[in-house]
Amino acid sequence: MGKIREENGKFYPPEDFVEQAYVSSREEYEKMWKQSVEDPETFWGEIASELYWYKKWLKVNREDFAKGEIEWFIGGKTNISYNCLDMQIKKGRGDKVAILFQGEPEDDVVKLTYKEMLKLVSKFANVLKKKGVRKGDRVAIYLPMIWQLPVAMLACARIGAIHTIVFGGFSAEALRDRILDAGAKILITANGYWRSGKTVSSKATADTAIDLCAKEGHTVDKVIVVKRLDNFDVPMKAGRDTWFEDEIAASDISDVCAPVWMDAEDPLFILYTSGSTGKPKGVLHTTGGYMVYTYASFKYIFDYKDKDIFFCTADIGWVTGHSYIVYGPLANGATSIVFESVPTYPNPDRFWQIVEKFKVSIFYTAPTAIRALMKEGDQWPAKRDLSSLRLLGSVGEPINPEAWLWYHKHIGGERCPIVDTWWQTETGGILITPLPGAWPTIPGFATLPFFGVKARALQPRSSADQPAVDAPVNEQGELCMERSWPGMMRGVFGEPERFFNTYFVQQPGFYFSGDGAIRNEDGYFRLMGRIDDVVNVSGHRMGTAEVEAALNSYPAVAESAVVGFPHEVKGEDLYAYVILKTGFEPSDQLKKELVAHVRKEIGPIASPGKIQFVPGLPKTRSGKIMRRILRKVASGEIDQLGDTTTLADPSVVDIIVAGRQ
């Protein structure tokens, strides 16, 4: 493949990539985008027609957006499991690998074809029916990254049950809260799983969560346990707990299960996401619009072709895994990798070893992972053959330019376009992104809205009757959407008023994302992180993401997190937590150099008042930095840190508290 051309800080896709891309110019995109927002009936109707509908819709879209009332493919009936499996077999992909599972042990590989997946999904759907699960029932799934997880979710979708997947690393308390909120009577878990050479018992955590539910008066009647680890005994409660393997092997379980035809607006899944109140929000996604949106976004954004091998490193417990490991790829007939372990075990080249082994062509990961691997040094990717890659993606947070450039050079070999994608659990799929063959990218910019997405960066309003005004070019505004798109959430499960109050009040008439964004002269969006991560220093609004990007561009810095803390003169000042790269030692001199560097990059107003060198940051297991904790430490509110059990490594908080400046 040809090389990417760079001019004035813009990176142009190679000509041979452009020639084969679905969308190969900005002009073509503008024409398609215009139709998608002005005539959604035609645009989305044509895309939806590429999928199977048992009954065609009467109308593509109806909404009263200001009230948060949204419908897509009204009157249509379909089934997402049928589209992901049966339809692919009818298209001749029956013997193609659908799910390619790589366990932590190197030799633990399972390849499941579309035919094999359909049989397994049908069997497990029949198991669920035998257990009394019906359309509309909620099924809680607490599984590690193993092939049985996509089987379980597709089985739920096949019979119209609503799955709620709880990330396999969550605590018993977090699992309890989600089971209770969803009202799930059945739980699917595993005896345990591998993590960095150690075994972890999912079942022990699940049992504790079920006991905690019982104290709240809620009974989980049935627990199905996957035997992930051999010779790993766990207590099994008679009458409640059964083995997954025994259930699907039972003589009365058929490998044929007719799909339940779902109304387009019937619920597909609930996925819990953290809210500003601390109580998780049950984000509800429905069947038809979500299916169409994940199908279209996967196809166009990753420029997916039939021969591609797709590797998204997310966990299926998060929305990225739902949309871009399972539903989006399988609706396109893709081969999608499910990886159990971590990027640094047994060595920091595990991702690159998998790319080499399976000839991965599209790779999608988080900036957190990129920065962690960058910190380990360039020698790890250099040892591996990454020539099969043709496209890279970034997801989860704004990617700082230094990490983007490292990814571009050391992983993409300066030949792979990078799609820096912005979206949320609530959006169902990617909203702002490059289309890789259509326009040049700029490190740190997510670029332009996807089809159907009318994005604006609006100035804050002091009252509801003030008109909506776009923020000036290159000045931060509040990222909002002017109309709905098919993949958008439809509500907060069990709390209808919370949906409206969370997303439609800040900017009346718009969906408010909670994120800040800058739009440049080209119309490109640059994401600036959460609005509440903006600090007011001496009357100047300072996006912490911008200060972090400046710190991260310094040669000694691997990663940083910046928060505000009270200051008697400035009102607020900046507190920077800094992780150094291997080979650099903390010192007062280095602190001075970092302050000077930030002053140079942004200006004196952005100089951090305090810098603390730390070995790690408090992150959830999905890699999200818990800034709430960092703000409390910086402000000296050590006794108000709240629950830290959902962190990947709670002990890091104690180290940060002990070293507070």
**pLDDT given at position 558:** 95
Residue type at 434 in one-letter notation: P
The radius of gyration of the chain from alpha carbons, rounded to an integer in Å, stands at 24
On the CB side of 13, how many CA atoms lie within 13 Å of its CA?
A: 26
The C-alpha atoms of residue 482 and residue 421 are separated, in whole angstroms, by: 19
**Closest to 288 measured CA to CA, from 484, 54, 72, 483:** 72
Q: Decide if pLDDT at 147 tops 50.
A: yes
pLDDT number for residue 299: 98
Q: How far apart are CA 457 and CA 478, in angstroms?
A: 5
Quick check: 141 and 593 in contact, CB under 8 A?
A: no
- Residue type for 291, please? M
pTM of the model: 0.86
235-254: string of b/e by CB count within 10 Å (b at 16+)?
eeeeeebbebeebbeeeebe
DSSP string, 152-184: HHHHHHHHT-EEEE--TT--HHHHHHHHHHHT-
Q: What backbone torsions phi and psi does residue 267 show, to the nearest 5 degrees?
A: -60, 140
Is the per-residue pLDDT at 133 higher than 60?
yes
Count the Cβ atoms, other than its own, within 10 Å of residue 232. Answer: 14
3-state secondary structure 212-232: HHHHCCCCCCEEEEECCCCCC
Cis geometry, peptide bond prior to residue 566 (ω within 30 degrees of 0): no
- Asked if pLDDT for residue 538 goes beyond 70, the answer is no
Query: What's CA 170's distance to the chain center, in Å?
Result: 16
pLDDT, one tens digit per residue, over 246-287 is 999 999 999 999 999 999 999 999 999 865 444 678 999 999
Work out the pLDDT band at 170, boundaries 50, 70, 90. Answer: confident
* Domains and their CATH numbers in the chain: 120-263 (3.40.50.980), 538-658 (3.30.300.30)
641: left (phi over 0), alpha (psi -120 to 50) or beta: alpha
In this prediction, residue 230 carries a pLDDT of 93
Helices vs. strands in the chain: H and E counts, helices first: 22, 34
pLDDT tens profile 455-473: 999 998 877 788 999 999 9
Q: Identify the H or E element spanning 200.
A: strand 198-200
Q: What is the pLDDT of residues 44-61, one digit of tens each?
A: 999 999 999 999 999 999
pLDDT computed for residue 620 by the predictor? 81
Per-residue pLDDT, 58: 98
82, 155 Cβ separation under 8 angstroms: no
Highest mean pLDDT range out of 147-156, 457-466, 582-591? 147-156
Q: Report residue 539's pLDDT band, with 50, 70 and 90 as the boundaries.
A: low
Q: What's the distance, CA 86 to chain centroid?
A: 27
Distance CA 377, CA 434 (A): 28
Q: Is 465 exposed, middle or buried (0-12, 13-18, 19+ CB in 10 A)?
A: exposed
Report the pLDDT value the prediction gives residue 331, as an integer from 0 to 100: 98
Residue 512's contacts (CB-CB under 8 Å, 6 or more residues apart) are 478, 479, 480, 503, 504, 505, 506
What is the residue-averaged pLDDT of the chain? 93
DSSP-derived letter for residue 318 is S
Contact 57, 76 (CB under 8 A): yes
Q: CB count, 10 Å around CB of 388?
A: 16
Q: Mean pLDDT across the stretch 112-135?
A: 98
pLDDT band at 397 (very low <50, low <70, confident <90, very high): confident
Tokens read off for 417: 């376009």
Residue of 564 and 75 predicted with greater confidence: 75
Residue 530's pLDDT band, with cuts at 50, 70 and 90, is confident
pLDDT at 541 over 60: no
Please report, to the nearest 10 degrees, the dihedral formed by the alpha carbons of residues 348, 353, 354, 359 taken in order. Answer: 150
Q: What angle do CA 21, 79, 47 make, to 5 degrees?
A: 30
The answer to whether the CB of 66 falls within 8 A of the CB of 40 is no
Q: How confident is the model at residue 536 (pLDDT cuts 50, 70, 90)?
A: low
The helix/strand/coil state of 638 is: helix
Contact 63, 71 (CB under 8 A): yes
pLDDT of 390: 98
Minimum mean pLDDT range among 73-87, 108-122, 361-375: 361-375
Please give the Cα distance from 492 to 426 (Å, whole number): 10
Helix (H) or strand (E) holding 648: none
Of 568 and 94, which is predicted with more confidence? Answer: 94
Whole-number pLDDT of residue 274: 64
**What is the pLDDT averaged over residues 10-32?**
98
Residues 6+ apart with CB under 8 A from 563: 533, 535, 544, 574, 575, 577, 627, 630, 631, 634
